[in-house]
């Protein structure tokens, strides 16, 4: 009992048992000194780490190491590869920004030169909403000046950037014209390698023309359909008043640059149905593509000839058409849809004064067509014959396709009936049925061979 109480409430502690001499696992700790706390005065204070009191490497008692000196552990020569990559990316970024800026500058120069004509001919130009006059504007400038200010009736954004090389604008609100789409295609100055590759492909392959900066405009006339697009128009009202009638005869006619004539015939179905004939009135590098000589005599006016001469080699083509660009594959695609196309190459100098006459003539051409493009029945008969031939071909192809579908359906029905009959027969009857079927097939083949002979 006394021994138990002694163990519970303390007593003299037993001395450490001696380490056996032969036990090597505890030999390293046999002579270890008792751990003792480090005096507080020996611990460096916080300001002594970064301050002047810090012990430098290499001082007495402190081994020298490069870990604390990054300029001694590394050098710029270790980052040559990273430096080359960073420099290459910097050059690419600078070229991209410079090329994009140049393209934007050329696009703004073009719209600045053509905006007065567009604003004069159309009520709405661009993609932004129209500006409206405020009370402060009227008080500051007066009502007369405010109403006369053209900028208040024009959209804020005249040109839209579709990509670093493509820009577009839009115009609507004109008599005889539903709307006008204009696209500018510039060189890929932001990507010199792509531009060089395109020039190389155009040099070695005729099917791939060399890249060039172009303005392509597509004008969509009303053609008597104002009631479908203009709010407030009563359907059929254009037939009651002669001055609102905006339709004209269907035909395809074009003036093209001979350098692009072959490409146009290959790419466009509507132009391919016309005949080509040179005119002594035009420059030697231009020709006419028409369905009738009478149409050419009517459209080849002195104003158009003068405008083409002013445009010089920058003129690509002017096309008046009612047929699709791609060859029609269905009867719905043969429905006439009238459009006017103008393609001009942009001069590198940025001087567009020589191209303005043909651009203005192109916009006003619909007025001439609506007023006088109504030809004799003999002329229209020849024009209709080409379209009727295409319609007959499509009808024949459609009938053949439907006949083939009907034949396939008959074969499916016949095969299904045969399978059902075989399924309901026993093995002996099935064998007899197949033998008779084989005999019928052989007789049919012999009959066909005798008819061919």
Q: Are residues 299 and 150 in the same domain?
A: yes
User: Does the residue 88 lie in any domain?
Assistant: no
- Residue 357: closest CA among 391, 310, 396: 310
User: Does the residue 26 lie in any domain?
Assistant: no
Burial 78-113 (b: 16+ CB within 10 A, else e): eeeeeeeeeeeeeeeeeeeeebbeebeebbeebbeb
CB 214 within 8 A of CB 346: yes
Q: Are residues 185 and 155 in the same domain?
A: yes
Question: Which of 342, 375, 408 is where one domain is finished?
Answer: 375
Mean pLDDT along residues 170-191: 92
Q: Are residues 265 and 401 in the same domain?
A: no
Rounded to the nearest 5 degrees, what angle is found at the Cα of 56, between the Cα atoms of 54 and 61?
105
Question: Which of 324, 347, 375 is where one domain is finished?
Answer: 375
Q: Are residues 421 and 308 in the same domain?
A: no
177, 228, 230, 448 from 234: Cα distances, Å:
18, 9, 9, 65
Q: Are residues 252 and 139 in the same domain?
A: yes
Q: Provide the pLDDT for residue 421.
A: 79
User: Does the residue 370 lie in any domain?
Assistant: yes
Q: How far apart are the first and last CA of the chain?
A: 134
How far is Cα 257 from Cα 265, in angstroms, rounded to an integer? 12
Q: Are residues 442 and 339 in the same domain?
A: no
pLDDT tens, residue by residue, 370-424: 998 898 988 888 888 888 888 888 888 878 888 888 888 888 888 888 888 788 8
Helices within 221-351 (DSSP H only): 226-229, 258-267, 269-272, 293-299, 302-311
Name the token pair of 440: 């019928």
Strand extents, DSSP E, 293-405: 315-321, 339-345
User: Does the residue 417 lie in any domain?
Assistant: yes
Domain count, the chain: 2
Cβ contacts of 422 within 8 Å, gap of 6 or more? 430, 433, 434
pTM above 0.85, yes or no: no
Q: Are residues 368 and 399 in the same domain?
A: no
pLDDT tens, residue by residue, 427-437: 888 788 888 88
Q: Are residues 284 and 344 in the same domain?
A: yes
Q: Are residues 147 and 250 in the same domain?
A: yes
How far is Cα 188 from Cα 212, in angstroms, rounded to an integer? 10
User: Does the residue 10 lie in any domain?
Assistant: no
Q: Provide the pLDDT for residue 224.
A: 80
User: Does the residue 122 lie in any domain?
Assistant: yes
Q: Are residues 363 and 437 in the same domain?
A: no
Mean pLDDT along residues 277-289: 92
Range of the domain at 178: 106-375
Question: Which of 319, 343, 375 is where one domain is finished?
Answer: 375
Q: Are residues 428 and 346 in the same domain?
A: no
Q: Are residues 418 and 288 in the same domain?
A: no
Name the token pair of 449: 């061979």
Mean pLDDT along residues 289-301: 92
User: Does the residue 371 lie in any domain?
Assistant: yes
Among the ranges given (33-37, 94-98, 438-442), the one the predictor scored with the smallest mean pLDDT: 33-37
CB 388 within 8 A of CB 323: no
Q: Report the percentage of the chain scoring pLDDT > 70.
A: 74
Q: Provide the pLDDT for residue 56.
A: 54
* Average of per-residue pLDDT values in the chain: 79
How far is Cα 227 from Cα 235, in angstroms, rounded to an integer? 5
User: Does the residue 262 lie in any domain?
Assistant: yes
């Amino acid at each position: 009992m006394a021994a138990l109480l002694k163990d519970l409430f303390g007593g003299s502690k037993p001395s450490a048992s001696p380490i056996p001499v032969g036990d090597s696992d505890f030999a390293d700790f046999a002579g270890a000194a008792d751990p003792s706390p480090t005096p507080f005065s020996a611990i460096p204070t916080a300001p002594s780490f970064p301050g002047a009191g810090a012990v430098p490497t290499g001082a007495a008692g402190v081994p020298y190491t490069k870990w604390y000196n990054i300029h001694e552990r590394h050098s710029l020569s270790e980052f040559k590869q990273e430096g080359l990559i960073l420099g290459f990316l910097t050059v690419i970024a600078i070229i991209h920004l410079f090329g994009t800026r140049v393209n934007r500058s050329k696009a703004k120069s073009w719209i600045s030169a053509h905006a007065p004509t567009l604003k004069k001919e159309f009520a709405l130009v661009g993609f932004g909403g129209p500006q409206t006059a405020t009370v402060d504007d009227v008080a500051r400038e007066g009502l007369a000046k405010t109403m006369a200010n053209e900028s208040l009736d024009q959209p804020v954004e005249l040109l839209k950037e579709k990509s670093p090389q493509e820009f577009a604008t839009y115009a609507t609100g004109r008599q005889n014209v539903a709307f006008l789409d204009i696209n500018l295609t510039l060189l890929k100055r932001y990507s010199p390698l792509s531009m060089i590759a395109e020039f190389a492909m155009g040099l070695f392959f005729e099917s791939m023309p060399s890249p060039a900066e172009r303005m392509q405009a597509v004008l969509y006339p009303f053609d008597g359909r104002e009631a479908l697009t203009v709010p407030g128009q009563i359907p059929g009202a254009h037939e009651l008043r002669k001055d609102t009638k905006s339709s004209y005869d269907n035909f395809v006619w074009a003036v093209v640059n001979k350098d692009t004539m072959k490409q146009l015939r290959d790419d466009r179905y509507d132009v391919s149905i016309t005949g080509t004939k040179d005119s002594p009135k035009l420059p030697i590098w231009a020709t006419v593509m028409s369905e009738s000589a009478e149409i050419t005599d009517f459209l080849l006016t002195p104003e158009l000839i003068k405008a083409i001469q002013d445009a010089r080699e920058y003129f690509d083509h002017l096309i008046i058409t009612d047929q699709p660009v791609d060859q029609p594959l269905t009867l719905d695609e043969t429905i006439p849809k009238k459009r006017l196309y103008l393609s001009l190459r942009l001069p590198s100098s940025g001087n567009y004064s020589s191209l303005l006459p043909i651009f203005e003539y192109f916009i006003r051409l619909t007025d001439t067509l609506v007023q006088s493009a109504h030809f004799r029945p003999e002329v229209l008969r020849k024009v209709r014959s080409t379209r009727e031939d295409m319609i007959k071909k499509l009808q024949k192809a459609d009938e053949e396709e439907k006949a083939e579908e009907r034949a396939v359906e008959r074969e499916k029905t016949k095969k299904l009936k045969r399978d059902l009959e075989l399924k309901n027969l026993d093995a002996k009857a099935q064998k007899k049925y197949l033998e008779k079927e084989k005999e019928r097939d052989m007789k049919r083949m012999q009959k066909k061979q005798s008819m061919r002979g």
